[in-house]
Amino acid sequence: EADIYQTPRYLVIGTGKKITLECSQTMGHDKMYWYQQDPGMELHLIHYSYGVNSTEKGDLSSESTVSRIRTEHFPLTLESARPSHTSQYLCASSEPRTGGHEQYFGPGTRLTVT
Amino acid sequence: QKEVEQNSGPLSVPEGAIASLNCTYSDRGSQSFFWYRQYSGKSPELIMFIYSNGDKEDGRFTAQLNKASQYVSLLIRDSQPSDSATYLCAGGTNAGGTSYGKLTFGQGTILTVHP
């Protein structure tokens, strides 16, 4: 069972505001991921991290940034929110096991930018 | 061609029937495969994973992998209305390099189980 938390669960914010979406996991997983998903659409990887001080951009270009100062914490920041950032943001974590990397997802943050 | 492609949906089956969900992948480097269930408005939940050719059973779920045909499937026996959700297939590689630990997701198949 995965213990991965995201806050806030829902956020409505005006254009131009700076926002930080929080993601924490208590499993000591080295690898963490951020996905973006619009309703009824595919998951898109926007950032990932293989450990402390390691961050990489994902397959989908995003104006957001991430940091990984502690193993358990992987926040995502938008410096200036725009309506095009309206989406669901999902955080996940994994650790290597024999055969693969099972990713476990947090509950998500639904962001609406007005 | 998408790297991971799922059979087009939506798929509708009667309660008690077997639901068959299919997935093909193009990257022969993919070695591990995962099935996630996602209810509307919720986050994906891992329900099955398979790394070796053949079948893997867990309760009402059976995952099948055929690496030669680059084909993965999920069978749900005795389907229940609570199984109605979007099912996501994902492939990953265990090799080193930039893809290590990353998953590539399919577009999902919507399953509806009607009473």
Shortest Cα distance, chain A CAs vs residue B3, angstroms: 13
**How many CB atoms are located within 10 Å of the residue A63 CB?**
13
- Non-local (6+) Cβ contacts of A59 within 8 A are A44, A45, A46
Phi and psi, residue B68, nearest 5°: -65, -40
- A108 contacts on B by Cβ (under 8 Å): 42-43
Q: Which residues 37-76 on chain A approach chain B with CB closer than 8 angstroms?
A: 41-43, 45, 48, 50, 56
pLDDT (tens digit per residue) in B2-47: 689 998 789 999 999 999 999 999 988 888 899 999 999 999 999 9
Substitution target in B51, B100, B102 with the highest count of A β-carbons within 10 Å is B102
Using a CB–CB cutoff of 8 Å, tell me whether A105 touches chain B. Answer: yes
Pairing relation of β-strands A109-113 and A10-13? parallel
Q: Say if the Cβ atoms of B49 and A101 lie within 8 Å.
A: no
CB-CB neighbors (< 8 A) of B90 in chain A: 103
Cα–Cα dist A95/B109, whole Å: 27
Do the bridges between strand B85-92 and strand B32-38 make them parallel or antiparallel, or are there none, so unpaired? antiparallel
Please report the beta strands in chain B, taking only residues with DSSP state E, as ranges in sequence order. 4-6, 11-14, 19-25, 32-38, 45-50, 54-58, 61-66, 71-76, 85-92, 103-105, 109-114
A62-107 confidence digits (pLDDT tens): 899 999 999 999 999 999 999 999 999 999 998 776 556 789 999 9
Structure tokens at B24: 């093909």
Q: What is the DSSP letter of B18?
A: P
